[in-house]
Every structure is written in structure tokens, then in C-alpha cells.
Amino acid sequence: MKKSLLTIVAAASLMFASCDYNEHNFPGLDNGNITDVKVMNYTMTADDYATVSSNSTNKSIANVNGQSAALATVKTQQAFSVDAPASIYAPAFLDAKWPTADDGSSIKLTYNMQQALPAYLQTLNAGNVYTVSNADYEAAWGKSGVKYFSANQTPEESLPSILSGEYPNAVKGDVVMVSYNMADEELTIGGLDEQFEYFSSTVYHAQVDGWFNIALTGTYYWQGRTYNSNGYLQNSAYNHPDGALDVYMISPAVDIVSGMVLSFDMAYRYYATEGGRIAVLISTDLVESSDDSIMTNNVRNATWTDVTSQFSFAIPAVGSSNNLASAGSYNLASYVGQRIHVAFRYYGDANGATTTAQIDNVQIKNPTSEATTSTPVNALYAFNGTTWAPYTEKTVHVLQKSEFNEMGINYDNFSASLSADHYLPIYLSNAYPYATEGTTVIVAYKYYANSVTSMAADEYVLTAGTWVKNTALEVVTDQFVKNNGVWVFDPSVVITLSPIRNDATIMAYYQAAVDWVWENVDVPAGCTSKGQGYVTSYGNNDYYSGCSAYYNNVDIRPAKAREQIASAYEGMTDDEVTALMEERLLEVMGHALEALHPDAVPVDGVEVTYTVKVAIYRGSTVSSCTHQMIYKVVGPGQFEYVPDSFQEI
């Protein structure tokens, strides 16, 4: 009997407890009207941003709005943006995440917002990269073989015309990163020195500045290759679909002077007795053309002298390979005073003649003369509307090849596998060891992706001893509410103007209120200087509404109001003065909102409100807000006081 009684009591207790739980968590459950009203704060995760981008509703909206690319970046950037705002793309996410939420639900969503980068960073990131060509150097010097600028032929003299020719449609403000060589000393001896350090991966049709890669027979061109950070050229007829292969790699034109010799490195690999060979040819009558078909005919019609026998090629055993090594040299004495092209011809056949051939370090120089050394330079140039000149809008640290080398990078660019975000904070710590807190450095550099080298720029700020990249990311909290079954953006805000002295944000509201009184009440009344009307001589208090940007409160003491402008309150009781100033406060604070929130706009289906909390001073010290008033957004930057919303807190 006792056991049964205890069971009944326990069951009853559980029933009552369940009623309380249900009513708290599921309003209406106990009377049969179940509701699921969400009132919560939520911070988005990385997975949430991916969900936003993949949401089918969002994809449809983005397609109509022309924002598909921007929607995709919400996932990769883990942030909403100006082109893919939360106000448009968060509702579908909320609906999918909380499908049972009923009307009246309210979620304050905290998320990352990708703001626009500063204009100067946008300009720099939109810039091109231009590498000065052999033809550019030849035009600058008036002769071939010189591949650098110097103190006698400066880049500042030559680059404006070079860039004008390259970018005839440039507009004011365009920026280009120019890469060129600068002579370390003034010894102009001409010649050729090509080390093929262009390639970070295999390039099946090598493009080398000033050179011509021409296939007379077949479709396999000389390739750009790299091994152990060394670039070189390679060709082979192995697996060539067209059988026979005959390809020329032709040097730029070189003016030959006394003492010059031709030298290069070569290697045969996977040697086949049937063939696959290199021939070295020289022409004095080859005509250059930028049109491949014309150039192919010109190569066929040129006179070529075969000088292969002047070199010594190491021959490996059948099926074996050699490493790149010197092939010796050939004295060009018979060509002094002439301009020549040197061709490295590969000829073979997929039917057995498949030896792989490699060449590197092609030089034409006087071995007894000291060659001019040069340093690669990256520099920024901007178009000013008339000509190109060195970029001066901002101080920019342009990364040089030597600095990439210091970071352990063999090339002069970052890439997907060599992340600038990883290297730059470390580099800046070493480059600016004495930088002070808040120091800002803009870094411009080359970035390689999808076989294209482009220009990029980042801004870093020294923050708490660490270099932090300016990503223009802002953490934002916005409110979304569910009305009529639809989630909508509700930008309603609460502005708390606590009585805290010298708080710049709070002061801005009170000063905006005081300024409105001066411009719209005192000046029209004939006041020529502050202190003559409602606004005090200090210009930061008014006794029209009582707003004080000095104390950051609302002073509605009748005695102080009469002290400032007795005529305005003559014949009124203290209560009447207080009531009038409170009424004016509602008017003036609305105008302050208009001044400080011109971007506020109405939202369909939502009553957007701004609740303003203030501290009213009546003679006794106040340390927190005492009253609040509510304004409805009725148009872009337009606010309307909500009747009877002025209430004591």
C-alpha cells in the first residue's frame, strides 16, 4: 500500500513538473496549441558558411541577382560580403537550420562581414605584372645582347615608353609591377646568357623571352622543365603521336664582337641508338616574326650552318642517362661584325629514335672579359593620365627575388603551395625588428597560379607584437525575425548613451543633437555666436533639449535652462519647463539619428526601430540610463518617434 501511494505521488509530481517544463520550452503545449518560438543568439561556424553557399534557395536568388560568384566566396572566405549580404542570404540558412521555428522567433546572428578593402589596396591588387623583354632592352640601348638597365641607361628613362607601348589603353591610376635587371656595374659587353630559370613546373610549350620555339615537323615542342630548383629545356620523340619530330629552339639575335664564344650545357637521357639528337645551327639571315606561321616559314627558308661538330656531347650507354654538363665551346670569330641566331634543333621519331635531350646555360660571351652582373628588380609604376612614372600614392614594400630567397623560396613569387599568409608575418618581423605598435606596412608581390603570374598586395599592422593582415573582416551581429512564415532581416538597434565622460561614441550623439539646435533653432533666431541662444558658449550643451556632449547626459534642470536663456522660459513653472524640454528631446534626438545613421532603411515585413536610452540629470547624480525612447525608420535615413514610447527605465 505504501509503495503504491509513493508511486502515485511521484507520478503526480512528475506531471506537474512536466507541465512547467513544457510551458517554458513549448508554449501552448498544455492547451493543445504547440508553438516553437526561438529567441536566441547564434554565432556562425565554418560549416554554416559552406551551407549558405550550397543552399539551393540561395543559389536561385544569386543566379537572378548575378551574384553566384559572390555567394560561392561566402564559403571560401567564411564571411558574407557587400555582394552577398547576410540580409539576403541568411534567411534561407535560418529556415533550413530551424525549420520548426514559428512566427515571432527572433535570432541575433553573429557572423563575419567582408568589408571592401581600402581603395589603394584594391588598385594594387588589380595591377598587372610586366617583365621587360630582350626586345625592350635592345630598343633602349640600340643594340642587342644587353639584358639590363644601368646608370647610363636608367629604367626611369626607358620604362615610360615601354609601358605606354604595352598598355596603350591605360587609364589614370592603373598600376603595374615591372620586373627588370639592373646592372651591378657598368660593363656593357653584349652577348647572351640564358639559364632558363623561368619554370617552376613542366611547361609543354616553353615560352622564353626573345626565343622562338618552332616545330617544323610534329607537335612536341621544346619543354620547360625544373629539377632541384634548376630550370632547363627538354625534348623527346617518345610517344610522339605523329612519328617524326623536328623542333627548333632559336635564340634572340646577338651582335658578335671579337672574342665571343658559344657555349652551353647538354645531356642525353634514355639513350637510343636509333636516334633522337641535338644539332646546333647558326643563321645570319633569319627574319624574325611574331606570327608563328610566318616564323615557321622563315625558319625553313633561312640559311643554317651546322656547327654541332664543334662541340663534345657526352654519350651514355644505351638506355642510360647523363646529367647536364658542359658541351664545350665554339669560337665565333668568323661571325664578328654580324648578327646571328643560334638554333638548338631536336630531331627524332617515335619509332625508336626517342632519346631525350636537355640543354641549359646557353652563353655567347668573351670568356676573357668580366661579364656584367645584374640584379633582378621589381618596381611599381603608375599611369598618371599622361605618362607612366614610379608609383608614389602609398609607401609600398615591393618584394624582390633576393627577399624570396631569404625566405627559402627559389622563385620570386608566392603560390598556392607557398602561402603569403604564412611567410609574410615572419618576414616582416625580421625586416622591421624595431617597428612600434600600430605600424602599418603594405607589401606588394608576385603570385603564381594557373600558369599566370599576377600582382598582389596585402596590408599588415603590428598588433600586440604580431604582424596582422588587414582582411577587412568585421564581426557583425544582426537580428532576424520570422513573420508570416518567412525569416527577414531586422536591423533594429538599441543605442545606450550611458553618462560616461569622454566616450567618443556617446559624445557623437549628443553633439549631433546640440549641432542641430544651433543650426535649426539658434541661427534662424538671429544668433551669430554660440552662447547667445539655447547652445552654450562652449558649443557642447544646449538648453533647448538639455543634451550635453560634455557630461554625456540630458540636463533638464529648469534653473540651468533659465540661466542660459531666461527669455525662452519666462512665465513658465518648473514643471512646464521640464515637460517642454522633454518634448524637445524627442524631437532633437530623432534629428541626431538622422545625422549619424543616414544608411538606416526600412525592411519589408519588419518594423525597424532604434531605441535610444539616455541618462536624465535633474540635480542628483546619475550613473546609468534612466529613460528610453523609440524611433521607427520610415525612409532612408528618416526616423519617426513612436508615440508614448518615452518611458522611465
pLDDT 10s digits, 67-110? 998 898 888 778 999 889 999 999 999 999 999 999 889 898 99
C-alpha cell at 269: 637521357
C-alpha cell at 603: 525592411
Confidence at 1, pLDDT banded by 50, 70, 90: very low
Rounded to the nearest 10 degrees, how much is the dihedral formed by the CA atoms of 106, 107, 108, 111? -150
Residue, of 572 and 36, whose pLDDT is higher: 572
Contact by Cβ (8 Å): 624, 553 = no
pLDDT tens sequence across 257-270: 888 999 999 999 99
pLDDT tens sequence across 589-633: 999 999 999 988 888 777 889 999 999 999 998 889 999 999 999
Closest CA to 543 of 522, 512, 529: 522
Residue 12 pLDDT: 33
Interval 209-236 mean pLDDT:
94
Q: How far apart are CA 469 and CA 567, in angstroms?
A: 59
Interval 564-584 mean pLDDT:
97
pLDDT at 484 over 60: yes
Interval 314-324 mean pLDDT:
95
Task: Write the burial class of residue 555 (CB in 10 Å: 0-12 exposed, 13-18 middle, 19+ buried).
Answer: buried
Phi and psi of 491, rounded to 5°?
A: -85, 25
* DSSP states along 511-524: HHHHHHHIIIIITT
Q: How far apart are CA 630 and CA 649, in angstroms?
A: 13
Question: How much of the chain, in percent, has pLDDT values that exceed 90?
Answer: 71
Query: For residue 533, what are the CA distances in angstroms to 527, 542, 576?
Result: 6, 9, 19
Residue 4 pLDDT: 32
Residue 2 pLDDT: 33
Instruction: Give the position of cell 637510343.
Output: 272
Q: How far apart are CA 364 and CA 264, in angstroms?
A: 9
Interval 506-523 mean pLDDT:
97
Residue 537 pLDDT: 97
pLDDT at 27 over 80: no
Contact by Cβ (8 Å): 564, 534 = yes
Interval 16-25 mean pLDDT:
45
Centroid of chain to Cα 296:
42
Interval 398-403 mean pLDDT:
96
Residue 314 pLDDT: 94
Q: How far apart are CA 217 and CA 397, in angstroms?
A: 48
Q: How far apart are CA 111 and CA 74, in angstroms?
A: 11
- Tell how many helices (H) and how many strands (E) occur in the chain: 14, 34
Residue 450 pLDDT: 77
Cβ density class 69-85: b for 16+ within 10 Å, e for less: ebbebbbebbbbbebbb
Q: Identify any residues that bridge with 414 across adjacent strands, giving them in sequence order.
A: 447
pLDDT tens sequence across 287-310: 999 899 999 999 999 999 999 999
Question: How much of the chain, in percent, has pLDDT values that exceed 70?
Answer: 92
pLDDT tens sequence across 401-439: 999 999 999 889 998 889 999 999 999 999 999 999 999
pTM, rounded to two decimals? 0.47
pLDDT tens sequence across 114-154: 888 888 988 898 899 999 998 898 888 877 667 889 887 89
Beta strand pairing call for 128-131 and 175-183: parallel
Q: Identify any residues that bridge with 638 across adjacent strands, giving them in sequence order.
A: 635
Task: Write the burial class of residue 291 (CB in 10 Å: 0-12 exposed, 13-18 middle, 19+ buried).
Answer: exposed
pLDDT at 24 over 70: no
Enumerate residues 6+ apart whose C-beta is below 8 A from 582. Answer: 556, 646
Confidence at 521, pLDDT banded by 50, 70, 90: very high
C-alpha cell at 602: 526600412
Residue 371 pLDDT: 52
Contact by Cβ (8 Å): 222, 346 = yes
Query: For residue 156, what are the CA distances in angstroms to 150, 159, 440, 556?
Result: 10, 6, 28, 68
Cβ density class 32-63: b for 16+ within 10 Å, e for less: eeeebebeeebebeeebbebbbebeebbebbe
Residue 16 pLDDT: 37
**Angle at alpha carbon of residue 459, lines to 453 and 460, rounded to 5°:** 125
Radius of gyration of the chain (CA): 38
Interval 546-574 mean pLDDT:
96
